[in-house]
Every structure is written in C-alpha cells, then in structure tokens.
Structure 1
Amino acid sequence: MNKAAYLDFVVEVIRRCDDQKGFQVLPRRWVVERTFGWMIRWRRLVRDYEKRTDVSQAMIYVAMGGNLLRRNANP
C-alpha cells in the first residue's frame, strides 16, 4: 500500500481539452507552478544535485520552512 492510499489522497490530473485553442487557465494548476517557483529560489533545488532522495526531500522541507518563516516574519 502506498502512502497516498494510506492517507486517502485523491490525485486528480487536470488535462486541457483537445479542442482548446490558445491559452486558458486550468483550475488549481497555478498552485503547483507557484510552489515550484518558490523552491527555485533555493540554489540546491535548481538542479538535482542530491544522490539520495531523502536528502532532496529534506532540502524541500527546509526551503518550504524558510519560505513560511520569511512570510510570517514580514507580513
């Protein structure tokens, strides 16, 4: 059993319509793109330098924790 099934997560992939022409905002996709943009501010997360996934995961936690601290310290 994977962790997503254990925690009852529902993963929904947002796809664009085949008949769509031009740009159209997709629902909730901006949340993921915004989060990736925040992580890119941390130099170690720009490229995949880490050989171990647990170290990479820890760096993501550090980056997001730093982001939360910065936002709470400077409202």
Structure 2
Amino acid sequence: MAGIARKTKRYPSDMTDEEWERIAPLMPEPGRMGRPREIEFREVINAVRYLVRSGCGWRMLPIHPGH
C-alpha cells in the first residue's frame, strides 16, 4: 500500500491532503530495527476515522480490491 496515488477521497471520513499535511510531521519516523512499514500512517488514520464516524467494528472495515 505504500506509495498509494491519492486522486480522490474514497470515503467521506478520509483526510484531505491539507489535513494530512498538518499532521504528517507529527508521525514517528521508521525505526532502525524491526520490519519495514507496509501500510502508510495516513491509511491507518483514515481507517480509525472511518470506524469513529461509521460505528462499525475494526474487523468489519471494507476491503478494497488490490490491497
């Protein structure tokens, strides 16, 4: 999922580019040890925002083709 091209928001709860630009500097840098990140922080935050807005359970998140 790294390097996802964001042309449009997928859900109303997804962050705008402007919102992401404001919080991106607050996200931690990758550590030297452990596995490399497979999912961008922006996608994780979008998932949490979707959960809060929709009220669905974590395991009920929609699955996107190609992910």
Q: TM-score, normalised by structure 2?
A: 0.33
- Higher-Rg member (1/2): 1
Q: TM-score, normalised by structure 1?
A: 0.31
